[in-house]
Amino acid sequence: METIEKGFKYRIYPKNNQIEQIEVMFNAKRYVWNYFLNINKHRLNHHKSVLNYNKMSKLLTLLKKKQTWLNQCEKSVLQNTIKYQYQTFLKFFKKECGFPKFKSYKNNYQSIKMNYTNGNISVLEKYIEYTSTGKFKKQNCKIKLPKVKQVKIAYSRQYEGRIVSCTLSRDTDNKYYISLCCVDIEINPLEQTGAVVGIDLGIKEFATTSDNEIINNPKFYRKYEEKLIKTQRKLSKRKKGSNNRNKQRLKVNKWHKKIANCRIDFLQKLSTKLIRDYDIICMEDLNSSGMIKNHKLAKSISDASFFELNRELEYKARWNYKLISRINRFYPSSQLCSKCGTQSSQTKDLAVRTYICEECGLEIDRDYNASINILNEGLR
């Protein structure tokens, strides 16, 4: 049976003294990152190579002797920081990302990564309650973390496998989360159904399948747009640096989080349903970043989040031995007749919602017609 690597994210509720310790580690990570980025930037300006991980590690030891407050931070946090910076420079030289930037304390989102060693990260079993039937009950749970000690955790589901590291983060709404990275997780693939499907993604309807099933577009951003605009308008009138501005910023963030959470929930449920029902899923290889450049449709395309759906389908298909067949993005799926194969340019206009074949007289919904063509091309 195949094993995979998986993350389990939970919300935690640290006390005031624990929040102080977490903030110290956030500050230490930011200080070390900016310290070494300044050195590497200076070296590059003088036509030298950046420091490799081993050299940065030696300098970090000297820096901790000079700046003793850095010893309050878990050592693996600082080691991971310089390691990530070196990897970022390697990606930059390969032109896979931009030049590393200095980290600001004004950024509301902060995170640190801690490695698992000798049981320093563990969910405490003595705080986990079970029902009379022996089933898992998610109350009064705590997790042990380095330097922070025991923290209350919303232990909504049991993690699987073996913990190798954890990421402790403070979100933009000042809530704290922990993500456990686990390996050696056994997966039980879903049963094979033998069914195949073609999916045409769209804006009016989120998706139309070759089984003539229409999945409505929830349009979460449009749903909460008025409330978001109202709170943003109030934020623009608040004085910068004031407490009232920060309070209003949290209200704006609440609606952004609401939209994001609704969208993630919808996409996760949809992708799981598709993987459960079909063995082969045929889809277009959409260029989402290019489609967003159309300013008339950019908001609707971003709201639909086609890229995220494709990403979720990819890893879920890999876990369950299903196949995602991609067809060329330039394939004229909406212009071909699904019955006789005649090509017509009538559906280039998005306002035309019905495809009428000039040869065989087939009259069919344009999205349903496109999904059948996508299925045939994907299987071919």
Would you place residue 11 in the very low, low, confident or very high pLDDT band (cuts 50, 70, 90)? very high
Would you place residue 134 in the very low, low, confident or very high pLDDT band (cuts 50, 70, 90)? low
Model confidence at 362: pLDDT above 80: no
Look up 284 and say whether it is catalytic. yes
49-84 per-position pLDDT tens digit: 999 999 999 999 999 999 999 999 999 999 999 999
The beta strands (E) that lie in the chain are given as: 3-13, 110-115, 122-123, 129-130, 136-137, 141-145, 149-153, 162-170, 176-186, 196-201, 205-209, 214-216, 280-284, 323-327, 354-356, 363-365
Write out the two tokens for 63. 């820096």
Model confidence at 100: pLDDT above 90: yes
Task: Flag whether the pTM goes above 0.75.
Answer: yes
* More reliable by pLDDT, 130 or 173: 173
* More reliable by pLDDT, 187 or 52: 52
Count other C-beta atoms under 10 Å from residue 322's C-beta.
20
Task: Please pick, among 200, 279, 303, 312, the residue that the annotation labels catalytic.
Answer: 200
Would you place residue 139 in the very low, low, confident or very high pLDDT band (cuts 50, 70, 90)? low
Would you place residue 136 in the very low, low, confident or very high pLDDT band (cuts 50, 70, 90)? low
Looking at residue 91, what is its pLDDT? 94
Model confidence at 131: pLDDT above 80: no
CB 3 within 8 A of CB 54: no
- Of 44-48, 79-83, 133-137, the range with the lowest mean pLDDT is 133-137
- Mean pLDDT over 38-42 rounds to 94
26-37 per-position pLDDT tens digit: 999 999 999 999
Task: Please pick, among 74, 279, 303, 367, the residue that the annotation labels catalytic.
Answer: 367
- Mean pLDDT over 145-153 rounds to 93
Look up 285 and say whether it is catalytic. no
- Of 209-223, 240-254, 280-294, the range with the lowest mean pLDDT is 280-294
Model confidence at 1: pLDDT above 60: no
Write out the two tokens for 342. 């005649």
User: Which candidate, 308, 12, 13, places its Cα nearest to that of 180?
Assistant: 12
Look up 367 and say whether it is catalytic. yes
Task: Please pick, among 74, 279, 284, 312, the residue that the annotation labels catalytic.
Answer: 284
User: Which candidate, 111, 121, 150, places its Cα nearest to that of 22?
Assistant: 111
CB 151 within 8 A of CB 14: yes
- Mean pLDDT over 358-377 rounds to 82
- Mean pLDDT over 32-44 rounds to 95
- Mean pLDDT over 122-132 rounds to 75
Q: Which residues have a Cβ under 8 Å from the Cβ of 130 and sit 6 or more positions away? A: 136, 137
- Mean pLDDT over 11-27 rounds to 95
CB 331 within 8 A of CB 377: yes
For helices 75-93 and 16-45, the axis angle rounded to 10 degrees is 40
**What single-letter amino acid sits at 330?**
F
